[in-house]
Amino acid sequence: MGRWVFVLENAGLAFVIAVLTAPLIIKKLNKLHMGQKILEDGPTWHMSKQNTPTMGGLIFIAAMSVPVLLSIPSMLETGDWRPLLMLSLSLIFGVIGFIDDYTKKRRDRNKGISAKQKLLLQIAAAVLFLTVMRVMGYMTPTLYIPFARVSVELPWAAYLLISTFIIVGTDNAVNLTDGIDGLCSSVTFIVAVFFSVMFMLRDSSSAIFSLALAGALLGFFFFNKHPARVFMGDTGSLFLGGAVCAMAFSLEMPLILALVGFVYLAEAVSDIIQVIYFKLTGGKRFFKMAPLHHHLEMSGWSEWKIVGAAVTLTAAMCLLSYAA
């Protein structure tokens, strides 16, 4: 019981750190002129968000890292280093996002590093994480099939290939979800709560990571909700993509991401459909605009309505996943 009190206290600590440091970080980002550049082909009303400070993901990254690092003595005692490995993957992806955000600012446009550069860095990070997890005995090359409740053992090379695809795909899907105020942070908060429950039911030390993430995101949401005072930027969204993947693989249920991350998946699929349809029809659009949240905006949905629907859907899918 004492152990879980400690874990919950760390979640509270992450929340407090996020709430207290957010105004300071936002002020610093404004001073450094780290304003978001809005795409001209986006919804016209988004132009009012021009120069809202970005890279605000640093708020929840710092807030959740402190509790996880404070739990190192506990990791030494139990010999379970998964929370630190999960944080490491998230931070590496966060650094990739930071490089992208910094490049955008330096070039003074909404284009950062090339897609090829970003992809190669993401693949390298995913392979490194999976390999370390395997070597340290925290992972076996088996894929659990939700609802069928069977595990399929694969050759390591095949498992590594599939898992790398899942991690990179999910990371980019989470990145696409960060397009309107509070959407990515609120959806990922629900996902973090789901994994926290699953870890606690399994008496897993990984709950330290997931609850710290939930606490930090809840604190960040107060500043990221509409109208947002700060955006998370690629620094934050790629970090969150890594965190979501780290939790799924720590649970050894990576395919569960298709359920709990249904909103991420829908955003990514809508973008893919839009690109393919555009090319096949010589310039016609399947959606009014992609990804999906922009289509809903163009259809008259308010940002609050989109966020509310996404959170409700994510919560429902997480409840469904509990039975998987």
State pLDDT tens for residues 273-289. Answer: 999 999 999 889 999 99
The tens digit of pLDDT for each residue in 55-83 reads: 999 999 999 999 999 999 989 998 999 99
- Is residue 302 domain-resident? no
Residue 30: burial class (beta carbons within 10 Å; 0-12, 13-18, 19+)? middle
- Is residue 106 domain-resident? yes
Q: How confident is the model at residue 110 (pLDDT cuts 50, 70, 90)?
A: low
Which 8-state DSSP code applies to residue 129? H
Report the percent of the chain where pLDDT is more than 90.
Answer: 80
Is 97 within 8 Å of 237 (Cβ atoms)? Answer: yes
- Is residue 320 domain-resident? no
Is 217 within 8 Å of 196 (Cβ atoms)? Answer: no
Q: How confident is the model at residue 113 (pLDDT cuts 50, 70, 90)?
A: confident
Q: What is the mean pLDDT of residues 19-26?
A: 96
The pLDDT mean for the chain works out to 91
Q: What pLDDT score does 33 carry?
A: 81
Q: What's the domain range around 249? A: 2-255
Buried b / exposed e across 148-173, counting CB within 10 Å, b at 16+? eeeeeebeeeebbeebbebbbbbbbb
Q: What is the mean pLDDT of residues 87-107?
A: 91
Q: Which two tokens stand for residue 300?
A: 């008259």
Residue 232: burial class (beta carbons within 10 Å; 0-12, 13-18, 19+)? buried
Of all helices (H) and strands (E), which one includes residue 144? strand 142-145
- Is residue 66 domain-resident? yes
- Is residue 318 domain-resident? no
Weakest-pLDDT range from 18-32, 35-49, 71-85, 227-241: 35-49
- Is residue 288 domain-resident? no
Q: What pLDDT score does 114 carry?
A: 87
The tens digit of pLDDT for each residue in 144-173 reads: 999 888 999 999 999 999 999 999 999 999
The tens digit of pLDDT for each residue in 214-269 reads: 999 999 999 999 999 999 999 999 999 999 999 999 999 999 999 999 999 999 99
The tens digit of pLDDT for each residue in 204-216 reads: 889 999 999 999 9
- Is residue 78 domain-resident? yes
**How many C-beta atoms surround the C-beta of residue 147 within 10 A?**
10
Q: What pLDDT score does 3 carry?
A: 59
Q: What pLDDT score does 104 carry?
A: 81
- Is residue 198 domain-resident? yes
Give the total number of structural domains in the chain: 1
Q: What pLDDT score does 148 carry?
A: 87
Name the more confident of 18 and 324. Answer: 18
Name the more confident of 101 and 22. Answer: 22
Task: Give residue for tokens 């955008």.
Answer: 104
| DSSP-derived secondary structure for 60-99 | HHHHHHHHHHHTHHHHHHH---HHHHHHHHHHHHHHHHHH
Q: How confident is the model at residue 40 (pLDDT cuts 50, 70, 90)?
A: low
- The answer on pLDDT for 111 being more than 80 is no
